[in-house]
């Protein structure tokens, strides 16, 4: 007899899962500890990314940089390419893979959300959510205060204007602005 999959296994498989789970709580605690270290170390001791935070990521190029006041849910689902720059106040809720391509830049207070809560209010009361991956291509510029919603893919060389809310995929090389973000 096989046992039911854990909430982590469901989350990793892209299935509906309960976000209130001891194993997931422990993973979030590790991420919070790594973020805390990143925030408190002096710039000379921290370098571009504090050691605990760098070790937490799925992959991270040596020359990627994250300014302080950064937050992530788990960290283990984040990949950062070469030359990635993440400015102050960025939040990444990485309940699914978040891939940020080489030389992409995120302005201050950019928010990337993978978690989508259930639309059925009864199931939402059970804390059910699903993680949808977010992919940011190479050489993308995301302006300050932009919000990237679950499941979005932003193509290489695209620009997302400051304060935009990106609700659907962005083609390579285009500029989108507004709420919801539209091509200009």
- 18-52 pLDDT tens trace: 999 999 999 999 999 999 999 999 999 999 999 99
Please tell me the distance from the alpha carbon of residue 109 to that of residue 122, in angstroms, as a whole number: 32
Catalytic center residues: 117
The pLDDT assigned to 2 comes to 77
Question: Dihedral sign, CA of 82, 28, 22, 121?
Answer: negative
- The segments of the chain whose pLDDT lies below 70 read 1
The pLDDT assigned to 3 comes to 87
Instruction: Check residue 14 and give left, alpha or beta (phi > 0: left; psi -120 to 50: alpha).
Output: left
Phi, psi for 121 (deg, rounded to 5): -60, -35
Considering the entire predicted model, what is its pTM? 0.95
The pLDDT assigned to 9 comes to 97
User: What domains appear along the chain, each with residue ranges and CATH number?
Assistant: 21-183 (2.160.10.10)
If DSSP codes are grouped into helix, strand and coil, which group holds residue 160? strand
Give 112's DSSP letter.
E
The pLDDT assigned to 37 comes to 96
Could you tell me where the DSSP H helices lie in 41-70? 43-46, 51-56
The pLDDT assigned to 1 comes to 67
The pLDDT assigned to 78 comes to 98
**Element (H or E) spanning 147, and its range?**
strand 147-148
Per-residue b or e along 22-41, where b marks 16 or more CB atoms closer than 10 Å to that residue's CB = eebeebbeebeebbeebeeb
CA-to-CA separations, 25 to 74, 127, 129, 172, 178, in angstroms, rounded: 9, 13, 15, 37, 35
The pLDDT assigned to 89 comes to 97
């Amino acid at each position: 007899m096989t046992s039911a999959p854990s909430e982590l296994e469901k989350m990793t498989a892209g299935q509906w899962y309960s976000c209130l789970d001891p194993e997931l709580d422990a993973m979030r605690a590790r991420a919070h500890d790594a973020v805390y270290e990143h925030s408190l170390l002096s710039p000379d001791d921290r370098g571009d990314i504090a050691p605990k935070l760098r070790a937490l990521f799925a992959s991270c190029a040596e020359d990627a940089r994250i300014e302080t006041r950064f937050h992530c849910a788990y960290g283990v689902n984040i990949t950062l390419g070469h030359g990635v720059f993440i400015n102050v106040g960025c939040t990444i809720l990485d309940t699914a893979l978040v891939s940020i391509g080489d030389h992409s830049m995120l302005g201050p207070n950019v928010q990337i959300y993978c978690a989508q809560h259930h639309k059925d209010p009864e199931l939402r009361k059970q804390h059910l959510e699903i993680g949808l991956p977010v992919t940011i291509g190479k050489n993308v510029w995301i302006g300050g205060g932009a919000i990237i919603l679950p499941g979005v893919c932003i193509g290489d060389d695209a620009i997302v204007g400051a304060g935009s809310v990106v609700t659907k995929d962005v083609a390579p090389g285009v500029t989108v602005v507004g709420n919801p973000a539209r091509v200009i």
